[in-house]
Chains A and B, each alone.
Chain A
Amino acid sequence: MIAVIIIIVILVVLGIIFAGLYNSLVGRRNQVDNSWSQIDVQLKRRYDLIPNLVEAVKDYMSYEQETLTNVTAARAAAMNAGSQGPQAQAQAENMLTESLKSLFAVVEAYPDLKANQNVLSLQEELTATENKISFARQFYNDSVLTYNNKIQMFPSNVIAGMFNFTTRQFFEAPEGDREVPKVDLR
């Protein structure tokens, strides 16, 4: 009788531990998915902002049409790259970031533009969006790290194996992101 009770108690305790580990794995996985979609939200916001910026500066920049075309082309390429896998998308997004950096550098050279309230506020919005993208990626990587740790470490790895939880890929910054871009103003 007592033995039966002890066995039941042990089973119940094991069940509770099991459920706790399983739930925390699911929670971590959802956090990874959610933080990935946060990146997408910010990328879309950047696509929406760029046409406004191009519209605002194009009349002032008679000699810099090439910079503007670059930005527009990079935006279109980035929007299309979404369907070609994360690696291609990361590369295209990086191109877009670079083209925006050169556009802002050019804006610096036009006193009229630098004083234009509309351009200034668009610049602030794009800067903020760039930052949000990189912070969202940073948080995604942090989430992936904790999730992968849970999958690989004992005891949650036992449950991860039973229910097919698989490790996720980190977002790796493209090579260009690691160095400060050099912009030639002339």
Chain B
Amino acid sequence: MYEQIRRNRRASWLLMGFVVALLAALGYAIGAAVVGGTSGGLGLLGVFGLAAIAWSLLGYYSGDKMVLAVSGAHQVTHEDEPQLFNVVEEMTIAAGLPNVPAVFVIEEEAPNAFATGRDPQHSSIAVTRGMMQMLDREELQGVIAHEMSHIRNYDIRFATLVGILVGMIALVADFFLRWSFWGGAGRRRGGDSNDQAGAVLMVVAIVLAIIAPLAAYSVQFAISRRREYLADASAVELTRNPLGLARALNDIAADPRPLRHANRATAHLFIENPLKNKKTKEATGVFDTHPPIRKRIAILLEMAHAGPEDLSSGRGATALPPPPAAPPASPA
């Protein structure tokens, strides 16, 4: 666990450095192509670099608020949602974290959840309304334990930064591609002698603009799949109940509705891919943000020494809730 925390801290710094460098390079390419010459390139390099540094710091300190706002989440108290709040408190105690994360609800039917923040002291958990309605207490506990593991491991810091920074690269690149497509590059100043060099730089700029978001996206995809398996395992360490999470994932997988408030920059934060790409339902491609949910369920079932028949809700209850159901009336 400490190894994972160290890795996440290092990865967060590397990511910020990488993005600043990438955007500076992008700035140079765009500047050289549009304004012409190295002076234009260096000028935009500086502008992009500074903007990237400012944005990284903003992402580090307020990334969680941005992600929560984009997801349409609103904060709730113990009075609003006693059960959700209690389950979060239970998992905070199980994880031995110093304070209870802020609890948010997303008013949507699709069942999903995510955690964000920069460290356990500044963390939030958001759950959709559909998730709360669909899951029983034990299943909800499994989901919250999964999110609590992301918080404890500092996954939230890295994942939130990835969302904010990747989102920005995509934005800048999209903007540039659209701008050049509409002929902005045609109005480039500079003499005829610059034309050939300009054309070369133009090609470089477009290539960079295409590669940049791709590179950023694949970082996002590669990192988040391993983290999901790890968080599933840590969640079981917290609840000592693999079946709760397995049943929750099973219910989530069965629901075909995509989450309207999720987008490509935040998809990797959620417990299960909120976009639900219909085409690639079971395929395990390079661009999947999440491991196949069937595989996650299978691993959890193995931990519980259980089979798929135990996935139907209400079975295998171990903890105090709910009180034992009335025994079947079969007196001899």
Contact = CB atoms under 8 A, between A and B. Distances in A.
Q: Do A and B bind each other?
A: yes
B6 to A, nearest CB: 15
A127 B321 contact: yes
Contacts of B91: 135
A124 B320 contact: no
Interface stretch (A61-69, A103-111, A149-157): A103-111
Contacts of A185: 326-327
Interface string B52-74: 00000000000000000000000
Given A125-B82, A127-B137, A138-B240, A183 B93 contact: no
A139 B90 contact: no
Nearest to A136: B93
B93 A139 contact: yes
Contacts of A108: 323, 326
A105 B318 CA distance: 15
A104 B240 CA distance: 24
Contacts of A182: 324
Interface string B80-94: 001100110111011
Contacts, number: 63
Contact of A132 (B90, B137, B240): B90
A183 B320 CA distance: 12
A108 B137 CA distance: 17
A132 B93 contact: yes
Nearest to B240: A138
Given A104-B323, A107-B323, A127-B320, A121 B94 contact: no
Contacts of B324: 105, 180-183
Interface of B: 82-83, 86-87, 89-91, 93-96, 137, 141, 238, 240, 318-321, 323-324, 326-327
Given A101-B323, A135-B238, 20 more contacts: A107-B323, A121-B82, A124-B82, A125-B82, A127-B137, A128-B82, A128-B87, A131-B86, A131-B90, A131-B141, A131-B319, A131-B321, A134-B319, A135-B90, A135-B93, A136-B93, A138-B240, A139-B95, A139-B96, A142-B96
11 contacts: A97-B320, A105-B324, A121-B82, A124-B86, A125-B82, A127-B321, A128-B90, A131-B321, A135-B238, A138-B240, A139-B96
